[in-house]
């Protein structure tokens, strides 16, 4: 009798954390292969079905394989025909984050001597596989530890969690949050920046939190957002959405958006265990008066 196997195809941008992700998958018991030519995946999976020692396979496939990468879609169709269960995880990060990681590691980009040009090439050529992915994970704000925790939650809690929610605060003065599914503008809320003793205390401080949440308009806004999300999330799940990215923006991303993001996350966490909060601009403090 053939052994039933589970396959994860790990792909995405160079510098987005695929090596770290593969280490996590290995810790979770997956047989891991880096830079596997896609056309070899169905053959390897067929071999695994005849083996009792391998039941979970994770393979990194990206543009490093050159022209072989073009066979990925036909290989995926072959997996379907073989009735082999698979998931595609796509990792990405912002251009600035990718550049910083390559400079820190003092490594060249695998596709182009110019990190920026290499990033653009991947962005253009990975669009189709990104659309077909089960999970799209933006690692811009993730440490290696964050990524490991996130993957473990996603891959081990499928029976309990039908969707993973990422809530991010940001400042409009530092550009809008990219790739968010839902964005809420909280710049209409009373601004702690104008309270002298709160100017240097971010939205994680108790004093700033109390100030932002004491207003009726803040409570009404939170109530309405929660009502909307409780309507939307079950419908997103029915539609097959596995990851939901929600953004809350204020002017600098230091006070109001941080408080609201934390409060909405606290409430939603009661119903959705796979939920994460990050604050993109909390440490930037780029103050511009409204």
Binding residues for ATP: 12-19
Q: Name the residue among 109, 156, 122 with its Cα closest to residue 8.
A: 156
Q: Which residues line the annotated binding site for GTP?
A: 62-65
Rounded to the nearest 5 degrees, what angle is found at the Cα of 181, between the Cα atoms of 159 and 64?
80
Q: Are 144 and 17 spatial neighbours (Cβ–Cβ below 8 Å)? A: yes
Name the token pair of 265. Answer: 């996350």
Q: Are 250 and 186 spatial neighbours (Cβ–Cβ below 8 Å)? A: yes
Q: Are 245 and 181 spatial neighbours (Cβ–Cβ below 8 Å)? A: yes
Q: Which residues line the annotated binding site?
A: 12-19, 62-65
Cα(58)–Cα(48) distance, integer angstroms: 12
Cα(253)–Cα(172) distance, integer angstroms: 7
For residue 28, with 0-12 CB atoms within 10 Å meaning exposed, 13-18 middle and 19 or more buried, which class applies?
middle
């Amino acid at each position: 009798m053939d052994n039933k196997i589970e396959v994860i195809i790990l792909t995405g941008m160079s510098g987005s954390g695929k090596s770290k992700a593969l280490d996590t998958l290995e810790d979770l018991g997956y047989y891991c292969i880096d830079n596997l030519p896609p056309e070899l995946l169905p053959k390897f999976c067929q071999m695994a079905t005849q083996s009792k020692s391998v039941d979970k396979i994770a393979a990194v496939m990206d543009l490093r394989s050159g022209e072989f990468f073009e066979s990925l879609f036909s290989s995926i169709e072959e997996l379907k025909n073989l009735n082999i269960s698979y998931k595609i995880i796509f990792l990405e990060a912002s251009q600035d984050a990718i550049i910083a990681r390559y400079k820190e590691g003092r490594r060249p980009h695998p596709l182009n001597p110019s990190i920026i040009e290499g990033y653009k090439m991947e962005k253009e050529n990975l669009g189709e596989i990104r659309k077909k992915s089960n999970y799209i994970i933006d690692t811009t704000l993730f440490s290696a530890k964050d990524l490991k925790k996130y993957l473990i939650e996603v891959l081990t809690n499928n029976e309990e969690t039908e969707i993973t929610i990422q809530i991010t605060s940001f400042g409009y003065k530092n550009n809008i949050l990219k790739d968010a599914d839902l964005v809420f503008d909280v710049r209409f809320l009373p601004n702690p920046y104008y309270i002298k003793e709160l100017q240097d205390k971010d939205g994680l401080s108790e004093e700033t939190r109390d100030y932002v949440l004491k207003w009726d308009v803040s409570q009404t806004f939170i109530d309405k957002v929660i009502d909307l999300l409780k309507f939307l999330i079950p419908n997103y799940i029915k539609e097959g959405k596995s990851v939901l990215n929600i953004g809350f923006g204020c002017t600098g991303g230091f006070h109001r958006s941080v408080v609201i993001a934390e409060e909405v996350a606290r409430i939603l966490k009661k119903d959705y265990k796979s939920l994460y909060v990050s604050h993109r601009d909390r440490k930037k403090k780029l103050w511009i008066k409204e």
